Amino acid sequence: MARYLTGIQSSGIPHLGNILGAIKPAIEFSKNLNNDCLFFIADYHSLTTIKSAEERIKNIRSVAATWIAFGFDYNKNILFRQSDVKEVLELMWILNCFTPFPMLANAHSFKDKSDKLSDVNAGLFTYPVLMAADILLYDAQFVPVGKDQIQHIEIARDIASIFNGTYQTSSFVLPEAAVQAEAMTIPGTDGGKMSKSYGNFIDIYLEEKALRKVIMSIKTDSTPLELPKNTEGDTTFKLYSLLASEEETNHLKKLYENGNFGYGNAKQMLFDKIMEHFKEARDAYFELMAHPEKIDEILWVGAQKASKIAQTVLTRIKPLVGF
């Protein structure tokens, strides 16, 4: 059984793009009986940018509730909050002392963020070391990542190799990047990639009236109602096709091509499809968020399972450095 580890961002409430492009595919992957999956919510990492305790707690619960509502099996796999496993900070300090300064200075993510942010803190600089600790602490063999994150896995491997070489040991498992196929790009309300950064996202957990207003704000061209419309590049049609059956999608395509069908009608169909498609998940999410103690309990139980693995790894590592 291969062990996979995935870190989940806790920078906000998951939107439609996150759900369709990342969360649902990861949940399907976790159902493979040959995979041992650890999924953690990276709340320590979020501290580099988010300073509000209230916002962080809300985000953590919202992210966890979304994964659970969409069917993640937290009994078969492990779902936990990063900060509930304190061993990760102990290992991070040990790894810091084996990490060459130039390795961090040359990290792509730090260069990129330091150019864009006014608050360039030490956490951003040592971010890759904490990520390495996240991975090495659990003997993770594979870490699913996009192409832009491969360097983080390479840094984790390099740090582990330096440690192993220093003590002539194989105590750290060298992780491999499980490079994901190009993630599906989900269009936002302006037609660009859906992102909170661009303010073009769709929050499926909004109250119905507010959600409908967002759907109705999707940008379209100026083709008059009576004329045929092109589905190619149309955001409303694209989003509908991601949720609807092939038969339903073909029906909407014909409506576009036949004319006498307005974009407002298409948007109403998209809104109805979202409400239908996500009804069970929305209900489950709202139930969980109404009882945050249930979410906290699930994450805590997962953290106890993760801690057992972490303690086993630290027991191998600490005597080598004299602790």
| Spatial distance between the Cα atoms of 66 and 61, rounded to a whole number of angstroms | 8
Which residues belong to the active site? 113, 193, 196
What are the C-alpha distances in Å from 199 to residues 50, 107, 189, 196, 203? 18, 28, 9, 5, 11
Q: What angle do CA 216, 201, 130 make, to 5 degrees?
A: 170
- Residue 2 phi/psi, 5-degree rounding, is -85, 140
Helix or strand holding residue 2 (H, E):
strand 2-8
Burial class (CB in 10 A: 0-12, 13-18, 19+), 168: exposed
Which of 217, 46, 198, 189 minimizes the C-alpha distance to 130? 46
Is residue 73 helix, strand or coil?
A: coil
| Spatial distance between the Cα atoms of 245 and 204, rounded to a whole number of angstroms | 19
What are the C-alpha distances in Å from 12 to residues 20, 54, 273, 291, 312? 16, 12, 24, 19, 33
Map tokens 């330096």 to a residue: 162
Question: DSSP code of 23?
Answer: I
Which of 263, 205, 293, 208 minimizes the C-alpha distance to 16? 205
Question: DSSP code of 35?
Answer: E
